[in-house]
Structure 1
Amino acid sequence: ARDPSARRRPREGTKHQAVLILLRRDEGATITQIMDATAWAQHTVRGFLAGLKKKGHRVEVLERVRQVGPGAQGAKGSYSVYRISGEQG
């Protein structure tokens, strides 16, 4: 029997674990990299990141790259790099 107060660990080889590995790298990960690793849609990745924050993880933005093309096409091509710093906090 598992202690209900013990912290749960993700199962080996799951998409959840793959995302956590990407986010714990020093260089972090972009939404696109996470989408490629999991085959999730963009809104699913954003929801996963929000869920991590809700669970107490510190998800930080390492870098925001804003690319504006000819004719001021807005945020097309822009991206952010995310990382989990520490375990929770």
Structure 2
Amino acid sequence: MAEAIAALRSALPPARPARHPRQPGASRTPRTGTKQETILALLCRADGASGPNMIEATGWAPHTVRGFLAGLKKRGFEVVVHDRVRQVGPGKDGAKGSYTVYRVTAGPVG
């Protein structure tokens, strides 16, 4: 039985080396190239970003984009409505294709 376990362990790929622990109080280095970073870059532009822009850039579902925006507010970013584009249908109802443009005007506080 021990031989079988040893054979299985030798067939496994080698384990990853342990990560070095951070010093207490040291700031984390943010990862680059993430979808969150992509959305923040879009939001920091002067003309902001609409929901459809963010969905296209990340492949996220609309509710995920809205949840991310709510999370930014909780993390101290100031997310403001830059513009509301309203497609009006019959009876002055909002039609499909209406969207809101958001901007980040200030980074996290503290």
Same fold (TM > 0.5) = yes
Structure 2 unaligned blocks of 5 or more: 1-21
Structure 1 unaligned blocks of 5 or more: none
Provide the rounded CA distance (Å) in 1 between the counterparts of 2:106 and 2:29: 15
Name the residue aligned to 1:43: 63
Q: Percent identity?
A: 55
Residues 1:55 and 2:75 aligned together: yes
Provide the rounded CA distance (Å) in 1 between the counterparts of 2:64 and 2:41: 17
The TM-score with structure 2 as length reference comes to: 0.71
What pairs with 1:1-89 in structure 2 (closer than 5 Å)?
Answer: 1-4=22-25, 6=27, 8-89=28-109
Alignment RMSD: 1.8
Deviation track 1:28-68 (CA, whole Å, cap 9, x = no partner) reads 00010000000000000000000000111100000011111
Higher helix proportion:
2
Provide the rounded CA distance (Å) in 1 between the counterparts of 2:30 and 2:89: 41
Size of the aligned set, in residue pairs, is 88
Could you tell me which amino acid in structure 1 is paired with residue 41 of structure 2? I
Between 1 and 2, higher relative CO (CA 8 Å, sep ≥ 6) is seen in 1
